[in-house]
Amino acid sequence: MKLLMIEDNKSVSEMMAMFFKKEQWDAHFAYDGNEAVEMFNEDPNGWDMVTLDLNLPGKDGMQVSADIRKASPTVPIIMLTARDSESDQVLGLEMGADDYVTKPFSPITLIARIKALHRRADLAKTAPAEQPANAVSSFDVQTDHFKLNTKTREAYLAGVQIQDLTPKEFDLLKTLAQKPRQVFSREQLLQLVWDYEYYGDERTVDAHIKKLRQKIEKAGPQIIQTVWGVGYKFDDSGVDAQ
């Protein structure tokens, strides 16, 4: 198991390193937020677990969590913190963390929680259809008629490339496409595509959707649907025609 521990307190990480070694886990350590996000993004899909200290120098811990979630919607995250307030805990869990452990914690407890979460997360990997490990698949989103590659930042609809996507447009499309058919509210999209604490007009999302749709139309049928009163969703099930 490949694990990333984000923790600025060296004595904590050194102690945990011993325990991780005992478990024979491939543990990596980051000591501040920016370093952590950078390290994580080198191989966003290669991590099995992240533990994140919220009290970090530099980047805010919640922001680090958001950045990691953005890069990988599924990696298990355990937040570690001295902040014991209930609202912090609830916020953390709502932000997408899977567990929230308050300091001081014992290594044994943390190990047990990591194992429990890893076991649970593994169910998602083993259950579904296998994905050839070595296969190209640098495509991060791939449905029948739609492919999206975050490394090259290219998107294809029914084989035709969607051209001239700006960064925001690409991120927006990626976010929607990662969960086909799931409806995202404007607020959710602002959190996921912009920032978790972005303060701005929700209608800005509409403006980007409009631009995005224009570019999608040049490549094929519309794959972004409006869900009236709720938000938007990606749905390429209408791209049947061959």
Partner DNA sequence: CTGATTTGTGAAAGATTTGTGTCAAACTGC
Partner DNA sequence: GCAGTTTGACACAAATCTTTCACAAATCAG
Find, among 3, 57, 11, the residue nearest to 35 by Cα: 57
Instruction: Kindly write out the interface string for residues 33-72 of this chain, putting x where it contacts a copy of itself by CB under 8 A and - elsewhere.
Output: ----------------------------------------
Q: Are 100 and 54 in contact (CB under 8 A)?
A: no
Alpha carbon 34 to its chain's center:
16
Q: Which of 201, 218, 238, 240 binds DNA (CB under 7 A)?
A: 201
Residues 151-180 that bind a copy of itself (CB under 8 A): 151-154, 166-167, 178-180
Query: What is the spatial distance between Cα 120 and Cα 128, in angstroms, rounded to a whole number?
Result: 14
Quote the least distance from Cβ 77 to a copy of itself, whole Å. Answer: 10
- 102 touches, from a copy of itself, DNA, none (C-beta below 5 to 8 Å by class): none
DSSP-derived secondary structure for 110-134: HHHHHHHHHHHHHHHHHSSPP--SS
Rounded to 10 degrees, the C-alpha dihedral 88/93/96/97 comes to 90
Which of residues 114, 231, 235, 236 is near DNA by CB under 7 A? 231
Among 15, 82, 124, 160, indicate the residue that binds a copy of itself (CB under 8 A).
124
Q: How many residues belong to the site for a copy of itself (CB under 8 A)?
A: 56
Nearest to 40 by CA among 82, 79, 5, 15: 5
Residues between 160 and 199 with contacts to DNA, criterion CB under 7 A: 164, 166-169, 186, 194
Contact 142, 234 (CB under 8 A): no
Strand order in the sheet with 231-234: 183-185, 231-234, 224-227
Given the rule CB under 7 A, which of 32-40, 61-69, 132-140, 228-236 is the region that contacts DNA? Answer: 228-236
Nearest one of 39, 96, 73, 76 to 171, comparing CA atoms = 73
> Footprint of DNA on this chain (CB under 7 A)?
164, 166-169, 186, 194, 200-201, 203-204, 206-211, 213, 226-231
> Footprint of a copy of itself on this chain (CB under 8 A)?
74, 76, 86, 89-90, 93-94, 96-99, 106, 108-109, 112-113, 115-117, 119-121, 123-133, 136, 141-144, 151-154, 166-167, 178-183, 227-230, 233, 237
